[in-house]
Each structure stands twice: as structure tokens, then as C-alpha cells.
Structure 1
Amino acid sequence: MPMLPENPLLLYVTDPMCAWCYGFTPVIRRLKALWFGRLSVQVLVGGLHPYAQDPLTSPEKDKLAVSWHRAQGKSNLPFDYSFFLQKEAIYDTEPACRALLTVRHLRPGLTLEVLRALHSAFYADGWDITDTQVLVEVLRPFGIPENLFLAVYETDEIYQQTQSEFKMVEEMGVSTLPSVYLDHPMWPRLISRGFCELPELEERLLQAMQIPY
């Protein structure tokens, strides 16, 4: 019966514009640090609300704002609510997901840290991370050359790969962001769906690692 590897791989399904992911990414970062050398983390883009073209309606804004408030209450992280003052607020999460996938191609070791920076830029600072130049500014401290980033970010290939990853995540059965899976050649095993604190996440991981496939 196939067993899990000694150095397991966690699949962290997320979105840079997901409020609960903003709260949960610090938990993943702490878990990775706690398990340094014994655990790997790969970030997958889930596509919370990709390809949106129409501005949010008032009821949609209200529903989203409630979710943000709940996430803030759980995570105790700063939130900037000026997004909801925009008359033509379009909530398209594809550009930020594509930017994160681009970073994963160019500098895979920075993916989780860039995700944290994208979260903070959008939620704490109120930056429009659907704008390409804003994305460039978020990435600047990480030493990724602007021309290199744009050379990949604006290609048809990365568009298609982003769309393919959205589809793959859907086929995995992901219905909630954030979600965490324990990777395995046979099929990823769900560890966590939605926000949870570090002790609970670690307990679920340990339990999953003890169950043979």
C-alpha cells in the first residue's frame, strides 16, 4: 500500500484577493517555518472570482464586506475598506493569480512571500492589484526585474496556464478558499477547508500523514 513521503508536499490553494486567504497565509508560513526541512509547500491559484467584467452591485459589495469583516475578526489583520467606496469596483482576481503563477515560474522559492505581499497590498494598503503597474510595484522589493516579469506575465502561455490551474483546482474538488491538501501520486488528500489556526492545521496534517493510501 503506497505510503506518504518522508518530506510531504502541501498544496495550498489560495487567491491573492481572498480575504480568508489573507488571514490564513500567515498560518501556512508559520507551519512551513515550524516544519523547516521536513515539509514543502506549493501554492496553487484557485481563482476566487476570475474574469469579472461588470462592477459589483450594492448587494454584492455588502456581502463581500461582511466576509472581510469576519476575516478581520478571526485574523486580527488590518483591512482597508476604501475598495467599497469605488463606484465602479470590478472584483477580478485573475490578474493577481496570473502574477503569482508568473512568480512561481520565475522564482518558485518566493511564491509564498509574494502571496503575502499581494495580500497586504490589496487588503491593508488598498492597492489595486488588478493593475499591471501596481503588480510590478509589489514585486519590486523581491528583485524580480520588471521586464522579466512582464515578458512572462503578458504571454498567451501564462494566460492559458492560469486558466488550466483554475480548472485543475476545480477538478480536485476545491469548493472553499483557502484549502490545503496533502499531495500524493494517487490523489491529493484534503487537510483543511477554510480558515483555521496553526494548532488545528498541524493536528490535521499529523493525522493525515498516519493514514496509508
Structure 2
Amino acid sequence: MQKPPENPRLLYVTDPMCAWCYGFTPVIRRLKALWFGRLSVQVLVGGLHPYAQEPLDSAEKDRLAVNWHRAQGKSHLPFDYSFFLQKESIYDTEPACRALLTVRHLRPGLSLEVLRALHSAFFADGLDISQTRVLVEVLRPFGIPENLFLAVFETEEIHRQTQEEFQLVEKIGVSTLPSVYLDHPQGPRLIARGFSELPELEEHLLQALQIPF
């Protein structure tokens, strides 16, 4: 029987414009801090609603608003609902996912912090993070040069990699965002599907680590 890895890696499947991910990312950050030096986290972009071109209709807005209210009730985080007052609300999550993937290439250690900043910009500040100029402003405090970010963000290669990551996440079997998997030589092991609190998440992680590798 092989021992569990000394530094296991979690795969955090998320989307910067996912309300439940906004609530759950602080839990992941606390888990990483609690397991400092004993656990790594790789952020995977799940593509909640990518490539949208048409504005949301009233029924779609209502469903989304209910989802946001539920996430707010669980997470107790601030939400700005001005998004739903716009006449032309196009809910395209691909650019924000691509921005996060770009950060992962340029500054992988910043992925979780940038994700947190994107969440806050969209849900708490009401900014449209599907717009390139807004993404640039959100990333500015992290010291990533604008020209370097755009040089990667706007390439066909990063567009392709973003789409491929959406396909990888689907192949893994992710049906809910957020989801957390334990990376494993025989394939990712599901740790958590949907929002959960830190004690439950840590318990599931410990149980998964007890299964022989």
C-alpha cells in the first residue's frame, strides 16, 4: 500500500462569475492556510456560462437573482444586484475565465487571490468583468504588467486553452460549480460538490487521503 502524497494537490473547479464560488472561495483559502506547506491548490476554470451573446431574458434574470440570494444567505458576503437592473445583461463568463487562466500562466501563485478579487469586483462592486478594460483594472494591484497580461489574454492560444479546460472539466465529470477534487494518479477524486463549510470540506479531504494511492 502506497502512502498518501506528502503535498497533495486539490483541483478547485470554479468560475469568477459563479455566485456559489464567490461564497466558497474564502473556504478554500482558509483550508489552504490551515494546511500551509502540506497542500497545494490548482484553480481550474469551469465555464459556468461561456460564449453568451444574447442578453438574459426576464425569466433567466429571475432564476439567477434567486441563486445569488441563496448564495448570499449561505456565505454572508455582500452582493450588488445592479446587474439585474441593466436592460442588456449579457452573462458571458468566458473572458473572466480566460483572464484567470492567463494569470495561472503568468503568476500561478496568485490564482486564488486573483479569483477572490474577480469575485469581489463582480458580485460586491457590480463591475462587468466580461470587459477587458475592467479585467485590467482588477489585476492592476497584483503587479502584472498590463501589456504582458494582454499579450497572453488576447492570443488565439489562450482562447484555445480556455476552451480545452472547459472540455477537460466536463470530461472529469463536473456537474456543479464549485467542485473540489483530489488529484490522483488514477484520476481526480471528488472531495466536494457545491458549497460547503470548512469543517465538512476538511473532513472529506481527510477521508479521501485515507484511501490508498
Displacement after TM superposition at 1:3 (Å): 4.6
Note the alpha carbon deviations across 1:37-90, whole angstroms, 9 max, x for none. Answer: 000000000000000001001000000000000000000000000000011100
What is the CA–CA distance in structure 1 between the aligned matches of 2:162 and 2:7, rounded to whole Å?
27
Name the counterpart of 1:178. Answer: 178
Displacement after TM superposition at 1:131 (Å): 0.5
SS of residue paired to 2:150: helix
Question: 2:164 aligned with 1:164, yes or no?
Answer: yes
Name the counterpart of 2:155. Answer: 155
Q: How does 1:119-158 map to 2 (within 5 A)?
A: 119-158=119-158
TM-score (norm 1): 0.99
- Mind listing any 5+ residue stretches in structure 1 that lack a counterpart? none
What is the CA–CA distance in structure 1 between the aligned matches of 2:157 and 2:120, rounded to whole Å?
28
Name the counterpart of 1:47. Answer: 47
Do the aligned residues in 2 keep the contact of 1:4 with 1:184 (CA within 8 Å)? no
Displacement after TM superposition at 1:98 (Å): 0.0
Displacement after TM superposition at 1:2 (Å): 5.0
Question: 2:52 aligned with 1:15, yes or no?
Answer: no
Name the counterpart of 1:5. Answer: 5
CA separation of 1:94 and 1:39: change in aligned 2, threshold 3 A: same
Do the aligned residues in 2 keep the contact of 1:13 with 1:45 (CA within 8 Å)? yes
Paired AA for residue 73 in structure 2? G
- Mind listing any 5+ residue stretches in structure 2 that lack a counterpart? none
Paired AA for residue 159 in structure 2? Y
Q: Runs of at least 4 residues of structure 1 off by over 6 A? A: none
TM-score (norm 2): 0.99
Paired AA for residue 80 in structure 1? D
Question: 2:203 aligned with 1:196, yes or no?
Answer: no
Displacement after TM superposition at 1:23 (Å): 0.1
Q: CA RMSD in A?
A: 0.7
Do the aligned residues in 2 keep the contact of 1:13 with 1:44 (CA within 8 Å)? yes
Counting matched residue pairs gives 213
Identical-residue share of aligned pairs (%): 85
Displacement after TM superposition at 1:181 (Å): 0.1
